[in-house]
Amino acid sequence: MIERLALASLLLLAFCDRPSDRGPEYSGGDTTVFTTTREAYSSPASNLATETLPDFTFGHRLFTTSWVTAPASLTSFDGLGPIFNRVSCSGCHLKDGRGQPPEHYGDSMDSMLVRVSIPGQAENGGPMPHPFYGDQINDRAILGAVAEGRVLVRYTEKPGKFPDGTKYSLRVPTYEFKDMVKGSKGLLFSPRVAPAVFGNGLLEAISEETILALSRDQAKAGVVRGVPNYVFDAVTRKKAVGRFGWKANVSNLAHQSAGAAAGDTGITNSLFPKENMGPEQQQNFPDGGKPELSDAFLAKLVFYTRTLAVPARRVTPESLAGEKLFASSGCAACHVPTIVTSKSAVAEVSNQIIHPYTDLLLHDMGEGLADNRPDFQANGRQWRTAPLWGIGLLKNVNRHEFLLHDGRARGLQEAILWHDGEAAFSRNNYMNLKREERELLLQFLRSL
């Protein structure tokens, strides 16, 4: 049953005009780049048309530029805040990679933020924003404005043992709200590190039909039961299947980029024209124009995120052996190895056989990982299956190995051990492997 589910994506290939599969090394199909340097997540797709490279380069500039308070001499990049989390996209997504939690208690969240809401549902079907804080805590502010507060994290150790007697320990986070302008009573909250952005154009090019077919296949097999998150699309103003974010609460990269610009840096745009603050916070703060991020700049930023390459998998005999254990343990039921993209507005990501190791579906991951905060149709225990491609280069690029939505896991094994709910069976299968078999499975993940 598990093996049949692990091959669900391959069955999908029989129903489409199948492109050529270049092999497991080509994680991103024709977009794949063969590099293991610190720039492994930041390269343009290897099949990017030469005439569009300037658009990619300018998009990279937008992604890494630090916005400043208006008015400024460089008017194209002013309008920061009034309240914000970081001054640039790359401030959280360093080198287009993954953020991390604070290292010590009391440290600020530099590549992490906290989503908030109150009980209820907004008009668009999403979480009900807090009347003062909105949908996230902005812990920084320009001169004259007031930051909304701070969130601190403290960890305790939870020891455990494998069946063979090998010991391990998991970090359990607790969060404290400090200096909150309106207090924190009644807040539903969800701490989230910044996810990697490379390969997102390929994920966007996966059709809704493919995602829904994966959900149906899982329902038939009965091992895991991933479901799509239907969300509000700020571009079409309609309901759509979510793909991005830790709870698949965003359906496309235009919405993702524009929403992050407004929410994280306070840069307004045509999709999100209002400052990210409640009525009580509104004052005559200087702005960088209306909107502060032009449609032309937004288009370049979106093109950049759509055409970031995926680094190649580094295949070895050990990693191939570990891949078999990954499948037989049931991990591939959710972390689907192979999917075919559909036709996209960006030719480079269209009709590609890719190996993302995700189904883009929501799964109940158990009480230990629950944030108890609904997000559209995702409940407090559900999370999107995180793509695994490129995960073996995390330490090279971002100089850390913190994983899961809040970075609590200090490496691949701890991330596996936190799996529960629908994933309890695969976690238990991993725990019951021999020590050398567990190492082979981890070597497979490090090869991605």
Mean pLDDT over 7-21 rounds to 51
Question: What pLDDT shows up at residue 72?
Answer: 83
Q: What is the pLDDT of residues 172-203, one digit of tens each?
A: 999 999 999 999 999 999 999 999 999 999 99
pLDDT in tens, 318-359: 999 999 999 999 999 999 999 999 998 899 999 999 999 999
| 447: CB partners within 8 A, 6+ apart | 313, 314, 315, 316, 319, 322, 392
Flag whether pLDDT at 374 surpasses 70. yes
pLDDT-derived band at 223 (thresholds 50, 70, 90) equals confident
DSSP designation for 151: E
The closest alpha carbon to 204, from 94, 356, 58, 62, belongs to 356
Q: Residue 94: pLDDT above 60?
A: yes
Domain boundary assignment for the chain: 2-446
Q: Which of 315, 326, 448, 338 is nearest to 7 (CA)?
A: 338
Q: Is the pLDDT of residue 16 over 50?
A: no
% of the chain at pLDDT higher than 90? 88
Over residues 388-421, the pLDDT tens digits come to: 999 999 999 999 999 999 999 999 999 999 999 9
- H-run or E-run covering 11: helix 8-13
List the structure tokens of 127.
């979480």
What is the crossing angle of helices 295-306 and 53-64, to 10°?
100
Cβ(155)–Cβ(171) under 8 Å?
A: yes
CB atoms within 10 A of CB 163: 10
Q: Is the peptide bond between 311 and the residue preceding it cis, with omega within 30 degrees of 0? A: no
Q: Is 76 exposed, middle or buried (0-12, 13-18, 19+ CB in 10 A)?
A: middle
Is pLDDT above 60 for 14?
Answer: no
CA nearest neighbour of 406 among 95, 195, 248, 229: 195
- Residue-wise pLDDT tens digits, 97-120: 999 999 999 999 999 999 999 999
Lowest mean pLDDT among 69-78, 82-91, 168-177: 69-78
Q: What percent of the chain has pLDDT over 70?
A: 96
Structure tokens at 47: 């099949």
> What is the pTM (predicted TM-score) of this model?
0.94
**What gap in Å lies between CA 298 and CA 105, rounded to an integer?**
36
Average pLDDT over residues 373-396: 98
Q: What is the pLDDT of residue 4?
A: 46
Cβ neighbours for 444, distance < 8 A, ≥ 6 positions apart: 318, 319, 320, 321, 322, 323, 325, 326
Question: Which pLDDT band holds residue 229 (cuts at 50, 70, 90)?
Answer: very high
Read off the pLDDT of each residue in 217-230 and give the average, rounded to a whole number. Answer: 94
